[in-house]
């Protein structure tokens, strides 16, 4: 059913209404001096009430805007019309787009690619392929018990970390064990099984294909001269304490913390550090996580899959 409100306006009456609106709105605009935020919505409502048709209201609002732009050309802030009523929904002015929400920090994601610095290897996440060997392994020029090799980026970080420790403490530390190939791990693990049995070996040494040392991103560090090598009391040495406090700044994370066995599957190893890169290491510290599994939201890996 047509109502008079919906009927298009024609003839001299419509033109008269439009002039009346134009005069009214521009007058209000001058009164505001464009210094504040004019209530464009209220203009729109007034226009609608006077003109009674949406199309005419839209035209009148455009006049308001044009008048405001002119009035504010002297450098004062140009108010933004804000169509906010259904009557203004067909105006040619696009509604202001909402301010974009600040981007939430992306959740850290663990990688299964052994070449990725965020690879996580544990008893439920074997290396793939099992005999993976990193392509960019280099010798690490630091004091050592066993000649160390690591991936280039981790090697450079190790050199910087050792140098900082020496400069700050006047003491020395050495690489105990760094990159180990799949075949080396076969021998290491077999040796532990021979001395401790399989259950005991699994708390200390990874099975071949499950060792972080095979990534070229992990290093066991000991004091020089040797003290508490590969023993829990390394945590109490100056070397162990400095590493616990400062390794993160060089991109290394204490991988098997005290109390972490239910998650990591390994006993406390205050000597075993894993390179993840400085940014990730610092984000890890800031997160308050105590294991990389927790940081990356991975399930606990206390034992091998059956
Ligand atoms: Zn280790």
6: left (phi over 0), alpha (psi -120 to 50) or beta: alpha
Kindly give the distance from the C-alpha atom of residue 220 to the centroid of ligand 1, in angstroms, as a whole number.
Answer: 5
Q: Is 125 part of a structural domain of the chain?
A: no
Domain that holds residue 221: 137-295
Kindly give the distance from the C-alpha atom of residue 207 to the centroid of ligand 1, in angstroms, as a whole number.
Answer: 12
First to last CA, the chain: 75
Kindly give the distance from the C-alpha atom of residue 240 to the centroid of ligand 1, in angstroms, as a whole number.
Answer: 14
CA–CA dist 70, 78 (Å, integer):
9
pLDDT at residue 201 in the model:
94
pLDDT tens track for 206-245 = 999 999 999 999 999 999 999 999 999 999 999 999 999 9
Whether residues 174 and 290 fall in one domain = yes
Pairing of strands 149-151, 172-177: unpaired
Using the 3D structure, point to which of 70, 88, 106 is the last residue of a domain: 88
- Find out whether 303 and 122 touch, Cβ atoms under 8 Å: no
Kindly give the distance from the C-alpha atom of residue 89 to the centroid of ligand 1, in angstroms, as a whole number.
Answer: 67
Take residue 232 and report the two structure tokens written for it: 């829990």
CA–CA dist 90, 55 (Å, integer):
7
pTM of this prediction exceeds 0.75: no
Three-class SS of the chain: CCCCCCCCCCHHHHHHHHHHHHHHHHHHHHHHCCCCCCCHHHHHHHHHHHHCCHHHHHHHHHHHHHHHHHHCCCCCCCCCCCCCCHHHCCCCCCCCCCCCCCCCCCCCCCECCCCCCCECCECCECCCCCCCCCCCEEECCCCECCCCEEEHHHHHHHHHHHHHHHHHHCCEEEEEECCCCHHHHHHHHHHHHHHHHHHHHHHHCCCCCCCHHHHCCEEEEEEECCCCCCCHHHHHCHHHHHHHHHHHHHCEEECCCCCCHHHHCCCCCCCEEEECCHHHHHHHHHHCCCCHHHHCCCCCCCCCCC
Nearest alpha-carbon partner for 51 in 21, 22, 92:
21
Residues 95-121 have a mean pLDDT of 85
- Find out whether 158 and 150 touch, Cβ atoms under 8 Å: yes
Whether residues 267 and 144 fall in one domain = yes
Query: What's the Rg (C-alpha) of the chain?
Result: 35
Kindly give the distance from the C-alpha atom of residue 55 to the centroid of ligand 1, in angstroms, as a whole number.
Answer: 76
pLDDT at residue 50 in the model:
39
pLDDT at residue 124 in the model:
97
Q: The sheet that has 218-224: what strands, in order across it? A: 172-177, 218-224, 272-275, 252-254
Kindly give the distance from the C-alpha atom of residue 120 to the centroid of ligand 1, in angstroms, as a whole number.
Answer: 14
Using the 3D structure, point to which of 88, 123, 150 is the last residue of a domain: 88
Q: Is 95 part of a structural domain of the chain?
A: no
pLDDT tens track for 116-150 = 999 999 999 999 999 999 999 999 999 999 999 99
Whether residues 149 and 79 fall in one domain = no
Using the 3D structure, point to which of 88, 121, 153 is the last residue of a domain: 88
Kindly give the distance from the C-alpha atom of residue 286 to the centroid of ligand 1, in angstroms, as a whole number.
Answer: 24
Kindly give the distance from the C-alpha atom of residue 219 to the centroid of ligand 1, in angstroms, as a whole number.
Answer: 6
Kindly give the distance from the C-alpha atom of residue 169 to the centroid of ligand 1, in angstroms, as a whole number.
Answer: 24
CA–CA dist 269, 256 (Å, integer):
5
Kindly give the distance from the C-alpha atom of residue 277 to the centroid of ligand 1, in angstroms, as a whole number.
Answer: 18
> How many domains, the chain?
2
Whether residues 261 and 183 fall in one domain = yes
Q: Is 256 part of a structural domain of the chain?
A: yes
CA–CA dist 302, 266 (Å, integer):
7
CA–CA dist 232, 16 (Å, integer):
93
Confidence band for 103, pLDDT divided at 50, 70 and 90? confident
Q: Is 211 part of a structural domain of the chain?
A: yes
Whether the per-residue pLDDT at 90 is higher than 70: the answer is no
Q: What is the CATH classification number for the domain harbouring 250?
A: 3.30.1380.10
Percent of the chain with pLDDT over 90: 64
Q: Is 21 part of a structural domain of the chain?
A: yes
Q: Is 111 part of a structural domain of the chain?
A: no
Kindly give the distance from the C-alpha atom of residue 122 to the centroid of ligand 1, in angstroms, as a whole number.
Answer: 12
- Higher-pLDDT residue of 300 and 2 is 300
Q: Is 108 part of a structural domain of the chain?
A: no
Q: Is 180 part of a structural domain of the chain?
A: yes
Whether residues 195 and 53 fall in one domain = no
Tokens 């791990």, residue located? 185
pLDDT tens track for 179-204 = 999 999 999 999 999 999 999 999 98
Kindly give the distance from the C-alpha atom of residue 304 to the centroid of ligand 1, in angstroms, as a whole number.
Answer: 18
**C-alpha dihedral sign at 213, 216, 221, 225:** positive
Whether residues 78 and 168 fall in one domain = no
Whether residues 249 and 154 fall in one domain = yes
Whether the per-residue pLDDT at 300 is higher than 50: the answer is yes
């Amino acid at each position: 059913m047509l109502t008079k409100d919906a009927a298009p306006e024609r003839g001299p009456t419509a033109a008269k209404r439009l002039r009346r609106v134009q005069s009214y709105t521009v007058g209000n605009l001058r009164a505001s001096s464009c210094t504040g935020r004019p209530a464009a919505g209220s203009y729109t409502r007034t226009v609608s009430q006077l003109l009674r048709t949406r199309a005419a209201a839209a035209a009148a609002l455009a006049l308001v805007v044009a008048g405001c732009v002119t009035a504010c050309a002297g450098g004062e802030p140009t108010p933004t019309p804000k169509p906010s009523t259904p009557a203004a929904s067909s105006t040619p002015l696009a509604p202001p787009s909402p301010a974009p929400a600040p981007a939430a920090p992306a959740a850290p994601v663990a990688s299964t690619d052994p070449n990725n610095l965020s690879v996580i290897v544990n008893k439920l996440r074997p290396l793939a392929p099992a005999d993976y060997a990193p392509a960019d392994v280099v010798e690490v020029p630091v004091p050592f018990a066993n000649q160390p090799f690591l991936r280039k980026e981790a090697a450079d970080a190790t050199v910087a970390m050792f140098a900082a420790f020496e400069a700050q403490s006047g003491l020395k530390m050495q690489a105990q064990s760094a990159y180990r190939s799949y075949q080396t791990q076969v021998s290491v693990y077999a040796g532990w099984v021979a001395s401790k049995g399989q259950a005991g070996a699994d708390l200390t040494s990874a099975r071949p294909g499950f060792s972080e040392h095979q990534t070229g991103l992990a290093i066991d560090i000991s004091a020089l001269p040797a003290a508490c090598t590969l023993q829990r009391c390394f945590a109490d040495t100056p070397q162990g304490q400095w590493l616990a406090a400062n390794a993160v700044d060089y991109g290394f994370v204490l991988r098997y913390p005290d109390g972490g066995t239910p998650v990591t599957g390994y006993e406390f190893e205050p000597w075993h550090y894993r390179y993840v890169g400085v940014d990730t290491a610092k984000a890890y510290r800031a997160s308050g996580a105590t294991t990389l599994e927790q940081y990356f939201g991975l399930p606990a890996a206390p034992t091998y899959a059956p």
